[in-house]
Chain A
Amino acid sequence: MSEKIPIGEKVLMKGNEAIGEAAVQACCDCYYGYPITPQNELTAYMSRRMIEEGRVFIQTESEIAAINMCYGSAAVGARSMTSSSSPGISLKQEGISYMASAQLPVFYVNVNRGGPGLGNISPAQSDYYQTTRGGGHGDYRVIAFAPSDVQELYDLTMLGFDLADKYRNPAMIQADGILGQMMEPLVLHEYKRPPDLPSKQPWRLGDPSTTDPLLVTSLVLNVTGMEERNLELQKKYDTITENETRFEEVGLDGADVVMVAYGTASRIAKSAMEVARAKGIKVGLFRPITIWPFPSARLNGLADRFDNFLVVEMSLGQMWEDVRLAVEGKAPVHVHGRTAGGIPQQADIVADLRKVLDAKPGEIVKNF
């Protein structure tokens, strides 16, 4: 990228860098990060752009430090951000749990790589459980976006900051190494701050305009108090589910099989869909854009109209579980899963679509 950012224009950009520029545009005040592949370009990008803009950038000593710096910055009302990949995100989970409990906004990015353990640096979606179940300890959720192209990485980063602030809750992007590393044209939209964002003045620390002392904490020792806080959180999560569930449907009309896939897997499924249709297989695609909140209600409705679902994911049956929960047994849910750098191949998906159509009643195609 050249020094001047051509806002409003179409440019060719790497996914990781598009996230960075969106954050800069969306008035991110502080970015804290620690190197890890395959998201290094994001940290490198922020090291330059945040300092150019006179904002805060720190390459931290660890992921744990980074998320706790976010905790501090968020507590004084700043828009804070961190990013990492799977092992580093695991280390951040304690801090994220604290922020969820203290109701502090933060935006973070997980460019998934192969796991478990040190795993490998290849693309994967295998942090789905961690992402959609909160990730750390306790009864909490984070708003999780699952973009599928570079434009969406940019747009949903901006939205992520806004929703984090709006609901005083962690919000994040679940991407994979392909999305992070690929380049694609995108339009660098200008950031428009939603007019209804609540002021942080009533709760941010160190603000001279609040005279009573404030407390930010995730510790509530008395039992009723902590349970009450949890119930308050649950209410908030219900509101988020109602307002912020996002998905896309492609070519569902008359489909014999509905594929369910997100992120890069959804793009491969879309290509497979074209191949399958040319072979006379009637197939459509349902793409969750938020994986928490998960579009369960919509999928449940679709299960009344469609006979078969095939989940395509770069993990081994993690989203499969959510789709099965959503359709409540109204239709069979099949699965095609690859992981840790194994990428679903179009031909294999098409073959599985055939198997799904040929399946006997009660038979589930499980390909992994």
Chain B
Amino acid sequence: MERVFTKPVAMKEPRTLYCPGCGHGVAHRLVAELIDEFGLRERAIGIAPVGCSVFADLYWNFDVISTAHGRAPAAATGMTRANPDCFVVSYQGDGDLAAIGTAEIIHAANRGENFVTVFVNNAIYGMTGGQMAPTTLVGQKSTTCQLGRDPAIMGHPIRVCELLQTLGGVAYIARGALESPKTIMKTKSYLRKAFEYALDRRGFTLVEMLSPCPTNWGMTPPQAMTWLRENMLDYYPLGVVRDVGAEEKAQKPVAA
């Protein structure tokens, strides 16, 4: 019988230890599928950040480095600058990227570093048990905002893509979601573009992935998908936020 669906070679173990309904497994798989598609397994280095995905090495079948909380973009810079032939996928959660690692991501983007960033936004701190994240929505409850996020004392949820897209070094930024097969496939197409740009050394690339965390949202997996759709998509609109290739094309005078 013909096999029509297998695990990517760049994936060691298709079953994960993440909670049922978690987006991390899907995000890992998208990375692995594209590593296969581009034939990058030999020179790829994945970053396992501080967060639930700290064990990404259990799943990715290529080199992995674990970095300090928030410092993935700095470590990625170090690796790609020292050896430009490495293909680095930096992978970060919202606490890692948008709280403690804000400085690192802004400056990596500004310098136009040539690695791909996967930014998994689940609007919560997963690994530490459900604290408020920089991306937690207004009114959303967490263990450190038990009455719901109040912007007057806790600030507003940060839209990372929109924040970064003004920076000079950015080549490509897009936001997808891991909430249905359709949005997952779309997210994969964004990530493919980011891979292409990174391989062409066009500068900084980032794909945000809105992702459910049923455990710390206190929901079943189906409820979490619905909650994501109904609450996150309004505040975090999906789509390409910046694409320098498309901008160039648009600017080119049409040949007569």
Count of chain B residues with a beta carbon within 8 Å of a chain A beta carbon:
23
User: B66, A47: Cβ atoms under 8 Å?
Assistant: no
Majority DSSP secondary structure for residues of A touching B: mixed
Contacts of A62 in B (CB 8 A): 70, 99-100
Alpha-carbon gap, A24 to B52, bound state (A):
32
Residues of B within 8 A of A61 (CB): 99-100, 102, 134
The chain A residue sitting closest to B70, CB to CB, is A62
B50 at the interface (CB under 8 A from A): yes
Select A48's contact among B54, B129, B146, beta carbons within 8 Å.
B146
Interface size on A, residues (CB 8 A): 18
Shortest distance in angstroms between A98's beta carbon and chain B's nearest beta carbon? 19
Q: Let me know if B143 is at the binding interface, CB within 8 A.
A: yes
A35 to B52, CA, bound (A): 14
The CA-CA distance from A36 to B95 in the complex, in Å, is: 11
Closest chain B residue to A34, Cβ basis: B100
What is the CA–CA distance of A84 and B125 in the complex, to the nearest angstrom?
16
**In the docked arrangement, what's the CA distance between A34 and B101, Å?**
13
B68 within 8 A of A: yes
Check if B131 sits within 8 Å of A59, measured CB to CB.
yes
A87 at the interface (CB under 8 A from B): yes
Contact A40 B128 (CB under 8 A): yes
Neighbour of B143 across the interface among A40, A58, A63, CB < 8 A: A40
Q: What's the Cα separation between A59 and B131 when bound, in Å?
A: 9
State A62–B95 Cα separation when bound (angstroms).
9
State in angstroms the CA–CA spacing of A51 and B150 once bound together.
12
A183: interface (CB < 8 Å)? no
Asked whether, in the complex, the Cβ of A35 is within 8 Å of the Cβ of B66, the reply is: no
B144 at the interface (CB under 8 A from A): yes
Q: Are B132 and A40 in contact (CB under 8 A)?
A: no
Neighbouring B residues of A87 by C-beta, 8 Å: 68-69
A residues with a Cβ closer than 8 A to B are 34-37, 40, 43-44, 47-48, 51, 57-59, 61-63, 87, 118
Give me the interface of B with A, judged by CB distance under 8 Å: 50, 54, 66, 68-70, 95, 99-100, 102, 125, 127-129, 131-132, 134, 143-146, 153-154
